[in-house]
């Protein structure tokens, strides 16, 4: 028997992967035998994969990750990102089995969340880690393609979840996504992580590396837009644009693009979290999205 976090169980059931849950102990046993692993504790904060500390045959600590199936090309894209990054900005990849959604990864230290750093300190750390990943690359979905996917996802899940935010908010996010799709420039697009937040930034020596990449070839502002969706209570406590301006100044990127990706990601992720019952964060994100869409509607 293995310990699977409740959030991963919920994500698997939403994805129609009950068979994967039933067969997971046998799969972990097979991977352990093939890669020479001794399995240790499960990481309880995982959301889309079974993740456990392991020890390799030579005594090296590592991490085994087995991704929930039915999540599109999540395993293939993560493996591609990690190979392209080569251990720079992201955790190093030791082994991979794309068909089984399994990865053997470098073991890193505590996350930014565990370290409890204040938001004003986390933002530049996250931006710097993301910037380590940015480089010319091919072989992954584009930012324009992700924008189209996000539009479909937002509209579909909003109905399926019985409209947990205002319709105006959905259209506000769709309009922002459409602007980012039109702005996609292959000459400027780079490899981006796609999910940069404090749980995905782990200590590595005197810096930090990112884990769990979604992976896109997109404008760099996409990664910074993800940071705009996080910490929604803190975002709304002051002028929300201040965070976008700080990120833009720190990375020499476009503040409007950061803001618009934030609008899209806030609604999309809020709906994902609502679907798996991750509260109160789901409600906080969607309430922030409602308020920001109202402000834009009322702006002169």
Q: CB burial class (10 A; 0-12, 13-18, 19+) of residue 277?
A: exposed
Q: Which long-range contacts (CB under 8 A, 24 or more apart) does 295-299 make?
A: 296/172, 297/168, 297/172
User: Both 157 and 258 in a single domain?
Assistant: yes
Out of 99-108, 114-123, 146-155, 291-300, least confident range = 291-300
Of 106, 131, 148, the position where a domain reaches its end is 106
Give 125-178 pLDDT, tens digit per residue: 999 999 999 999 998 999 999 999 999 999 999 999 999 999 999 999 999 999
User: Both 122 and 87 in a single domain?
Assistant: no
Q: How confident is the model at residue 66 (pLDDT cuts 50, 70, 90)?
A: very high
In a domain, 208, yes or no: yes
User: Both 59 and 157 in a single domain?
Assistant: no
User: Both 285 and 156 in a single domain?
Assistant: yes
User: Both 91 and 141 in a single domain?
Assistant: no
**pLDDT for 299:** 65
User: Both 271 and 124 in a single domain?
Assistant: yes
Give 185-232 pLDDT, tens digit per residue: 999 999 999 999 999 999 998 899 999 999 999 999 999 999 999 999
Of 106, 122, 157, the position where a domain reaches its end is 106
Tell me, what CATH number does 42's domain have? 3.30.200.20
**pLDDT for 300:** 57
Tell me, what CATH number does 185's domain have? 3.90.1200.10
What domain range includes position 261? Answer: 112-298
Of 83, 106, 129, the position where a domain reaches its end is 106
> Beta-carbon neighbour count of residue 201 at 10 Å?
27
User: Both 190 and 287 in a single domain?
Assistant: yes
**pLDDT for 135:** 95
In a domain, 75, yes or no: yes
User: Both 28 and 120 in a single domain?
Assistant: no
Number of domains, the chain: 2
Closest C-alpha to 5, from 47, 37, 61 = 47
User: Both 190 and 263 in a single domain?
Assistant: yes
**pLDDT for 14:** 84
In a domain, 62, yes or no: yes
Give 197-208 pLDDT, tens digit per residue: 999 999 998 899
User: Both 118 and 238 in a single domain?
Assistant: yes
């Amino acid at each position: 028997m293995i310990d699977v976090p409740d959030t991963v169980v919920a994500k698997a059931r939403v994805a129609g992967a009950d068979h994967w849950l039933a067969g997971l102990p046998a799969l972990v046993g097979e991977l352990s035998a093939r890669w020479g692993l001794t399995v240790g504790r499960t990481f309880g904060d995982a959301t889309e994969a079974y993740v456990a500390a392991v020890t390799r045959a030579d005594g090296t600590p590592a991490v085994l990750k087995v991704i929930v199936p039915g999540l599109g090309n999540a395993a293939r894209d993560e493996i591609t990102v990690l190979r392209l990054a080569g251990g720079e900005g992201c955790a190093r990849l030791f082994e991979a089995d794309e068909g089984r959604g399994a990865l053997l990864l470098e073991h890193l230290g505590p996350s930014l969340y565990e370290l409890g750093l204040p938001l004003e300190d986390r933002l530049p750390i996250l931006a710097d880690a993301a910037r380590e990943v940015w480089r010319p690359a091919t072989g992954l979905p584009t930012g324009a393609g992700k924008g189209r996917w996000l539009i479909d996802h937002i509209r579909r899940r909003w109905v399926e979840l019985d409209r947990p935010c205002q319709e105006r908010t959905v259209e506000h996010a769709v309009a922002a996504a459409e602007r980012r799709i039109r702005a996609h420039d292959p000459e400027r697009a780079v490899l981006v992580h796609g999910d940069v937040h404090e749980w995905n930034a782990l200590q590595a020596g005197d810096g930090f590396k990112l884990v769990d990449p979604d992976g896109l070839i997109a404008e760099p502002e996409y990664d910074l837009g993800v940071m705009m969706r996080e910490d929604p209570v803190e975002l709304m406590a002051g002028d929300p644009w201040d965070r976008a301006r700080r990120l833009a100044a720190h990375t020499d990127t476009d503040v409007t693009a950061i803001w618009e990706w934030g609008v899209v990601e806030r609604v999309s992720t809020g709906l994902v979290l609502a679907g798996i019952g991750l509260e109160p964060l789901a409600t906080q994100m969607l309430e922030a999205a409602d308020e920001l869409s109202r402000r834009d509607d009322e702006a002169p």
